[in-house]
Amino acid sequence: MPHKVLFVCTGNICRSPTAEGVARGLATQRGLEHLFEFDSAGTHGYHIGNPPDPRSIAAALRRGYDLAPLRARRVTEFDFIRFDRLLAMDREHLESLQRACPRAHQKKLGLFLDFSERFDEDEVPDPYYGGVQGFEHVLDLVEDAAAQLILQLSANRRETVPEIAPRTP
């Protein structure tokens, strides 16, 4: 049975679809896609049905990740049941998830950057109102955390897990 991970940000057009696309890409790159089911959603329904921000798509594509097919959606009650982990991009998202999540599923909630090893930051900053560098920084953070997430979750599998290195442009 695959590990089911939901990445969560505000509108599901920048950070969380980037995390979904990168995690899926890294798992596929290492032949581990069968061990995971990745998805993303927003705490708010501002952009339901829309693709990710064009700047997120462009930045991810430069590193080999295709976000274009993804569409924004809002977190639903069923997500707390369906997913093994719901990983928030920042504390505000985590608090929103904690308020909405049934008590029985609270242990599934966490901050995505808790998996990061290379960075001291604990929140993925919102690049929406900034320039290209913000989207590149998000990718740096997300690649590190996603690689570590995949390694940790697949470590208990009997299969050999190849080392995951972030892609370079």
Q: Tens of pLDDT along 46-100?
A: 999 999 999 999 999 999 999 999 999 999 999 999 999 999 999 999 999 999 9
Please state, in angstroms and rounded to a whole number, the distance separating the CA atoms of residues 88 and 6. 9
Q: Burial code of 92-112, b = ≥16 C-beta within 10 A, e = fewer?
A: ebbebbeeebeeebeebbebb
Residue 22 lies in a domain: yes
126 is catalytic: yes
Specify whether 9 is catalytic.
Answer: yes
Give the domain extent around 31. Answer: 3-154
Q: Is 15 designated active site?
A: yes
Does the residue 17 lie in any domain? yes
164 within a domain of the structure (yes/no)? no
pLDDT at 168 over 80: no
pLDDT, position 157: 58
pLDDT, tens only, 91-116:
999 999 999 999 999 999 999 999 99
Average of per-residue pLDDT values in the chain: 93
C-alpha 167/C-alpha 61 separation (Å) is 11
Q: What is the pLDDT of residues 15-36, one digit of tens each?
A: 999 999 999 999 999 999 999 9
**pLDDT at site 155:** 84
162 inside domain? no
Give me the CATH number covering residue 30: 3.40.50.2300
The stretch 119-135 carries a mean pLDDT of 95
Q: Which helix or strand (DSSP H or E) is residue 60 part of?
A: helix 54-62
Nearest Cα to 84, choosing from 116, 124, 37, 122?
37
Q: Which pTM value belongs to this model? A: 0.92
Annotated active-site residue in 15, 55, 63, 73: 15
Residue 115 lies in a domain: yes
Q: Which of 32, 43, 42 is nearest to 3 (CA)?
A: 32
Among candidate residues 85, 126, 140, 167, the one labeled active-site is 126
Active-site residue (options: 9, 14, 101, 144): 9
